[in-house]
Amino acid sequence: MDDNLSVELYRKEGKTLQTGSLKVFPDGAVRIDGWDLGELPEQVWGHDEYEFEVTVSGTEIRKLVFALLRDRYIGRMGAVEEFRAFCKKEGIETHFFAWP
């Protein structure tokens, strides 16, 4: 697995800079974090910087994957093909089986 799986999820610039990112760590842990810098955190917290994050440990990833996929595909008749197409688009190796 690539040890540098990370992406900026959002960025809003203005009187307050707001950013958020996603990172997957080599041990499988996942973190989504945010950072606000400027006027808004100064007004709310009395500091011009505010950082926050949610981390899911590598031991909880199976539950996380299940919940996310359940949420995305439940009730969708095209779930198998949609999932297959998504994996292909993302370069994720899969095994497809159909009978007969």
pLDDT digits (tens, 9 = 90+) for 45-67: 999 999 999 999 999 999 999 99
Among residues 73, 64, 70, 58, which one has the least CA distance to residue 26? Answer: 58
pLDDT digits (tens, 9 = 90+) for 3-34: 679 999 999 999 999 999 999 999 999 999 99
Q: What is the pLDDT of residue 4?
A: 74
